[in-house]
Amino acid sequence: MSYLWRLKVVTPDQKIFAKQVYFHQIFTMVEGGEMAPTFEDLIDIPPGESRVELTLYAFAKGTDLKFLDNEETANGYKMARAR
């Protein structure tokens, strides 16, 4: 399986302030390997309240990553989400 992160920052009025898919950080696990995923980035968020969502997606090698364009389809690949 391969994995990638998506970050979304949502303002209190539900507007998406930032959305980033980390295609350059796709990683693959060997079968039976132990996963210890980490995430690091610098994000300039305006003062005030915002909700930050970090989602990890799992997909088979060769999967068309356009699944991320549709939230409902992307949910089928969601492995974990932190808010």
Provide the residue ranges of all domains of the chain, joining segments of one domain with +.
2-82
- What's the confidence (pLDDT) of residue 63? 92
Computed over every residue of the chain, the mean pLDDT equals 87
Whether the Cβ atoms of residue 7 and residue 43 lie closer than 8 Å to each other: yes
* Mean local confidence (pLDDT), 16-45: 84
- Nearest one of 19, 25, 27 to 53, comparing CA atoms: 19
The 10 Å Cβ neighbour count of residue 66 is: 9
Q: How many residues does the chain have?
A: 83
d(CA 18, CA 43): 9
Asked whether the predicted pLDDT for residue 4 surpasses 80, the reply is yes
Partner residues linked to 56 by β-bridges = 5, 80
